[in-house]
Amino acid sequence: MERGLSPHTVRAYLGDVVALLVHLAGGTPDNATVEAIDLPGLRSWLASQHSAGASRTTMARRAASARTFTAWASRNDLLAADPGPRLSAPRPHRTLPAVLRPDQAGAAMAVAEVGAEQGDPVALRDQAVVELLYATGVRVAELCGLDLDDVDYSQRVIRVLGKGSRERTVPFGVPAERAVRRWVEYGRSALVSDRSQRALLLGARGGRLDPRTARRVVHDVVGAVPETADTGPHGLRHSAATHLLEGGADLRTVQELLGHATLATTQLYTHVTVERLKAIHDRTHPRS
């Protein structure tokens, strides 16, 4: 919480630490103590996670949680020595993200447009959701956290509060502007309630749109496009970044737009672009 991490991350770290202490206490929570933490115990805990089928990514996160906790405990004199730095864990796999082709993304936007033409408030909202996600590449939690005042129509930008409470400004295009304006003018008023406050996007009962609902919306819209891999909001984010790079945007610009803390995270998208170029070359060049 002090580092400004998301509630999901805080909850995950807390669960990891509790699981570690319970493991060291032999499965009895009442006997759990910080003083019981040592390197063999940490290794035993990770080994039990591996035996239970935890993925490399999950184990890497849990090891990071343990190291952060033992460092804190050592600084606060709850541990005589910090065993965390000597704890090794498998590196998480960095898999290449699945992305839509530009024509597939366009087809998905067209599907949302057809639904919105009926004038149904929920359909108008759904179009605004997918258009904004693809136009800006924002995270789904960032999208759902937008307020009415965060949209500047004159500049066609949104103000986003991202990870670590870092604020950034992200531009969007004409189709997204049109979809958001239609939602605000004709759809939002039909769903607004005392729970709405200043939230830009609303659920069917008038409260702020839940990220789970936004995920379902994206899955439904993309799933309606034939021969398109199932994907959610993060897939649209990956697609937006990849299409920006393929269109000539530089890494620093894409890093700024996506709100990545480090350039290394953004560089993952260059691998996607290279892989797609290689696939096209293999498919089309006579001497590939």
Closest of 20, 16, 12 to residue 37, by C-alpha: 20
CA distance 143 to 179: 14
Q: Is 163 a catalytic residue?
A: yes
CA distance 227 to 163: 34
**Structure-token match 């405990």, residue found:** 73
Q: Is 278 a catalytic residue?
A: no
Q: Is 93 a catalytic residue?
A: no
Closest of 134, 75, 133, 73 to residue 101, by C-alpha: 134
Q: Is 153 a catalytic residue?
A: no
Of 139, 182, 238, 243, which residue is the catalytic one? 139
Q: Is 260 a catalytic residue?
A: yes
Of 61, 134, 188, 269, which residue is the catalytic one? 269
Q: Is 269 a catalytic residue?
A: yes
The β-bridge relationship of strands 167-171 and 157-161 is: antiparallel
CB-based burial label for 186 (10 Å; 0-12, 13-18, 19+): middle
CA distance 170 to 158: 5
Of 159, 163, 168, 215, which residue is the catalytic one? 163
Of 62, 237, 238, 243, which residue is the catalytic one? 237
Give me the active site residues, please: 139, 163, 234, 237, 260, 269
